[in-house]
Each structure stands twice: as C-alpha cells, then as structure tokens.
Chains A and B, each alone.
Chain A
Amino acid sequence: MPIKFRCPSCRQAYTIASKKAGTKLFCQKCKTKIKVPEKSTPEPPVEPVQKPTQPPAIGGKGEVPNEDLFADVTPDRNAVEDVEFSESPEPDTSSTNRPPKSEADFRTAEIEVGGESNERLSPDQYDPPPLDQMDGLGSSESTGGDASEAPSDDDDDLAAVLAFEKSMEDGGETTAPAHVPLPDELFAEDDDEEEDGFGSRADDDAEELDLTPMVDVTFLLLIFFMITASFSIQKTLSVPPPDPEKEGASTSTTIKEEEEQEQTTIHIDSRNVISVDDEPIPNPSRLVDILRSKRTTDVLITSHESAIHEMLVKVVDAAQEVGMQKIRIGVTKGPE
C-alpha cells in the first residue's frame, strides 16, 4: 500500500510508494526535510463532496457533468475548499474555460491560471507532459514545472518519487500559493481511471509479492531431493547361465580337456585364491594384466562352491575388461 502522509510543517499531502518508507525527502512546498513514515498517517475519511454546488459560484457555469469526478476522490478536500472560497472574489479571470469539465480541461484551466504571470496558453496549445516524466513509483505529472513558476528546479526530483497532491489553483492569481493540491493529479497516471481509482491505484503500485521465503523453501526442497536422489539404475554384470543338468565341475573338466590350448582357465579355490592356468595369483589386482598377456578370447572360470561371490564377480569383470569373447562359469565341489 502506498504511504500517505503530510508534511509536518506545511501539511502538504504526499503519497509515496511503501518501499520509500524511512527515506528522507525535501518537501516540495516548504523545503523542509521530512522523513517518510513507515505507515500512513490517518486521514479523516473522505465523504463525497457537495461540489456540484460550487462551480457556478466560481466559474459561472452550472453544467458540469463530471464535476464530482475529482471531488469524490479528493483526499485533500479541505484544502481544495479553502482555496476555492478564498478565490471566489475573482471568478472572471478565465471564465471561458471554467469550470473544468474533465481532467484535461481541468488541467488546462490550471495552466492558464498559472500562466498569468508569464504568458497565456490557450487550451489547444497546452501539451500534457510526456509519459516518461511519470515514473513507476506513481508520481503524477510534475505540473508545477509546466505552468506555474513557483516550484523550484527540484521539482522533477521530488515528483519522481512522490505522488503529489495538488489542489487546484482556481483563483488563478499569483496570490494563491504556487501549488495547491490538485486532486485529479493524484490519479493522473491512468487516464482511464474511474472514480474508484483510489483502490485500483493502490493495487498496481507497491503490491509486490515478496518472493524471498518462497525461494528459500524451494532451495531447501531442491537440496533435499538432490541429496536423497538415487537414480534407480541397477548395475548388473551378465553371467553365462550354469548348466542346469550337470554339476559345474564335470562340465568344466570336459571342456578343459578338449580345448585347453585355446582358452584360459581361472580357478578360485575355497580360500578365495585365484589361479590362472594353475598359477596362483597372490595379487588379484594384477589379474587384468595377466589375462591380457594370455592373448586368448575364451576363458573358463571355475569357482569352488565355498568361495565368495565377490571373487567371481572380480574375475568376470577382469575378463570383460580384456575383451574375452566367451566366458563360461563352473562350480567345483570337494576339498579344494
């Protein structure tokens, strides 16, 4: 929600985005340094103003269809009325353009009034300030710099931050304070705004969601899943099927006798010692080198039934590493 507060010295009303809370600014009107409060200072509730009765007194024209458009949203009604009453003695200065019928007309009136000291602008000559002069913080146009001479060169700076309330400077004479809060200027950013522009204005400004806690939780969940994740891929080593009919020992012996010249035989005995071609290998890590030096593509692996499974897997792994084409496995029983 934007913060609404008043300058403590001159009671100038300001509206500022809530992210500016706590910062220090200079009042545009009285130049005192003010600190933006953390919360809006309470304002008296704004009732609909009986303004439709007022314009004839000022401008002499009664047919004002949109008169209560700015009257209804005026947060600063008292200031407006004060000025109006004080200026009423001189209603004729620019009676052709008054009373304002819409926001544009209203602005035109103000400019013309303010320009009395410089030069008079006709309504057609008046160009509204370009949009880029209004920034996202919700400032209204810096009307002070356009028409009236009173605001200083600091005006742009402050207008960039503040949504400035200006009452209308309706008397038009230089006796009026340079800036009287102009109610419609507060909502001048969206030209299409309706009378309830106050609420929607508050929505599109400063209602930013704070994403930080969500990011924290998300990171926590991410880290949790990264740590606990186990990609369910089972590593396997394919082994040849054992002969279902016979016991492994007899099978392996027959093969051994027939093809002894062309194949390497590896035996794992009951004490988990690996022998390659009946030579015991004390260091199983050299098994790959020894198998590679054999230069065969067939290997017969026999394991004693009480040898542990790890040794057989180790031998099969080594045989696959050296590129053995044909691996057979048998199991022996007996004392060895």
Chain B
Amino acid sequence: MSGFKKNEKPEEAELDITPMIDVTFLLLIFFMVTSTMDQQKQINVPPAKHGVGVEASNATFVTILANEGGLGRVLLGDGADGEEVVSMDRVTRYVQQGLVEGRDLCIVKAERDVTEGRVQDVLRAVGEIEDMKFAVGVQAP
C-alpha cells in the first residue's frame, strides 16, 4: 500500500485556481469597460510635456489634417472621418451647437505640420463664441 500513498500526495497538491480566475475576470471586465477602440490614432498631433488630460465626452472637436499644400483640411468632429468644411462660419456654428448641447470646451486637434495661420483661423472662429474654452490637442511626448 505504500505505492498508493505515493499516488495520493500529488493529488492533494492541486492548485486552487479559483482566486486567479476571479482576479482575471475582474481585470477583464475592467479593461472591457474602460477601453474604447481607438480609431483616430492616425492624427499626428504635436507632443507636449504639459498637456492636461480632459474628458473627451464634454468637448467639441475640430480636426485639422495636414495636406500637401500645407494649408490643412478642417474637419468637424474627432478623427479623420469628420465632415470637411471650407467656411469658418461652419466651424463657428458647429461649435455653437456643441455649446448648446453642454460641451463648453473646444479642442482643436491640428497635426504637426499644419501651418499656424490655419490653426489660428480656426481658433479665431471658435473664439467668436462667448464662454467657450479652447485647447489644442497634444499627445504625450
């Protein structure tokens, strides 16, 4: 029967993996809830060390993409799939609409190679609205 006792020991040494599963599920749920698939990664905003993280949910986005002429394409909304506009009045109306809906911050996400004149044009269009806060979108260096 000694042979049997040898068999019994590894049986008792089974690892209880239940707490590990619990923790894993917790992490999984955490990441599922907090993650959003990032679809606007292709916007190459300039880096800055002192950027402040803001909640994206109460901000209106205006995106300026660099193009060959250097002037930049102005798009409404966050990301490269927004509506492209030519008139700065349209930008003003769009941001005004956002303010009506409670978003009092406008984030202008301009790519690095956009000329400053174009960025200031957009900022000026946004600045026509009173009580509107501004920021330019940056990324961590």
Contact = CB atoms under 8 A, between A and B. Distances in A.
Interface of A: 19-20, 23-26, 154, 157-158, 160-161, 211, 214-215, 218-219, 221-222, 225-226, 228-244, 248, 268, 303-314, 316-317, 320-321, 329, 331, 333
Contact of A225 (B18, B32, B119, B140): B32
B51 A235 contact: yes
Contact of B46 (A158, A160, A240, A313): A313
B116 A304 contact: yes
Interface in B68-101: 70
B59 interface: yes
A290 B30 CA distance: 45
B110 interface: yes
B59 A219 contact: no
Contacts of A23: 4, 7
Contacts, number: 179
Chain A to chain B: the 3 pairs with minimum beta-carbon distance, closest first? A305-B117, A235-B51, A236-B135
Interface of B: 1, 3-5, 7-8, 11, 17-18, 20-21, 24-25, 27-28, 31-32, 34-38, 41, 46-56, 59, 64, 70, 107, 109-120, 123-124, 126-128, 133-140
Contacts of B17: 211, 215
Contacts of A19: 11
A233 B78 CA distance: 13
Contacts of B134: 238-241
B139 A235 contact: yes
A230 B48 contact: no
B54 A233 contact: yes
A161 to B, nearest CB: 7
A137 to B, nearest CB: 9
Nearest to B115: A306
A240 B31 CA distance: 36
Contacts of B20: 215
B24 A157 contact: no
Contacts of A235: 48, 51-54, 137-140
A261 B82 CA distance: 45
Contact of A308 (B37, B48, B116, B140): B116
Given A232-B36, A309-B115, A237 B1 contact: no
